[in-house]
Amino acid sequence: MDSYIVFFVGLAWMIFATIQDVKTREVSNWLTFSLIAFGVAFSIFHSLSIGKINPFLFSFAGGVFYFCVAFALYYARVFAGGDAKLLMGVGFILPYSSWLNVLFLSLGFLFVLFFVGAIYSLIYSFFIAYNKRREFVPAFLKELKIFKWLFLFSLVLIAFLFTQGTNKSIFLGGILIFFIPLLYAYLMALDKSCMIRLVHPRELSEGDWLEKDVKVGKKIIRASVHGVSKEEIRALRKANKKVFIKEGIPFVPAFLIAYLITGFFVVVLKPDLASFVALLNCF
């Protein structure tokens, strides 16, 4: 029963966060911090109710592990601040039942999140590229020229392997050599042509990522991982200076999908550890 309560409360938070992220491209601090607070409070209550400290320790360990992961992803500019704090919250509410479960469930959710996130981000980016195809197509063709010799080599290699009846894994490796630079060119073109936007300072929100450093009078506003601060936004508005910002794909929907997959498998089906590992192998 306890795991059901935590699952559905966490699901409610995920739904609210998804709606907010899609609408405003940000997740409020009150939403992420309250999820963390709920996870900590519930684990303490659960420990007191059964007279054992394990539930609190499991939750704390999961939260600390996800804090470290979120911290690394935030400073690598993979996650925005809201995504990182939401990941911390998930770390505190996953239904751990043992120390081994803390390890496998923590890693399992991350694996599902990144797998789902990769597919979701790729599909979402197709719509962005299509809507901005006038800017995207020239940028994509320009990026492709950089890899033209690698593409030619890949095609020759694939044709040779096909005619020789080579082992399937080697043949697939040749195809992979072709598609990796293609994907890289696509992502670079998308980033340069579709994800950078010139905005008026009135449109700025705290945490927006500047594309490059901006000089306002004698002061230089740095394009940092933390994004623009309220004070920096006020300075830009006072100077009436437009800036280029780097936009991202709203990633919280991927959190929601990954949470549903993991939660359904762990909370509803209640498998043993071997079954959970088998699920990960499916991906």
pLDDT score recorded for residue 165: 59
Confirm if 203 and 197 have CB atoms less than 8 A apart: no
pLDDT score recorded for residue 213: 84
For the chain, what is the mean pLDDT?
A: 82
Is the pLDDT at 282 greater than 60? The verdict is: no
Q: What is the pLDDT of residues 89-127, one digit of tens each?
A: 999 998 887 888 788 888 889 999 999 998 998 899 999
pLDDT score recorded for residue 89: 92
Q: What is the pLDDT of residues 233-260, one digit of tens each?
A: 888 888 888 888 888 888 899 999 999 9
Q: What is the amino acid identity at position 49?
A: S
Residue of 155 and 247 predicted with greater confidence: 247
CA distance 28 to 17: 8
Q: Domains plus CATH for the chain?
A: 2-123+249-282 (1.20.120.1220), 128-194 (no CATH), 196-246 (no CATH)
Q: Is 217 left (phi over 0), alpha (psi -120 to 50) or beta?
A: left
Pairing of strands 209-210, 214-216: unpaired
CA 251 to each of CA 3, 145, 204, 261: distance values in angstroms, whole numbers, following the listed order: 25, 31, 20, 16
CA distance 274 to 139: 47
Instruction: Give the number of other CB atoms < 10 A from CB of residue 105.
Output: 21
Is the pLDDT at 29 greater than 80? The verdict is: yes
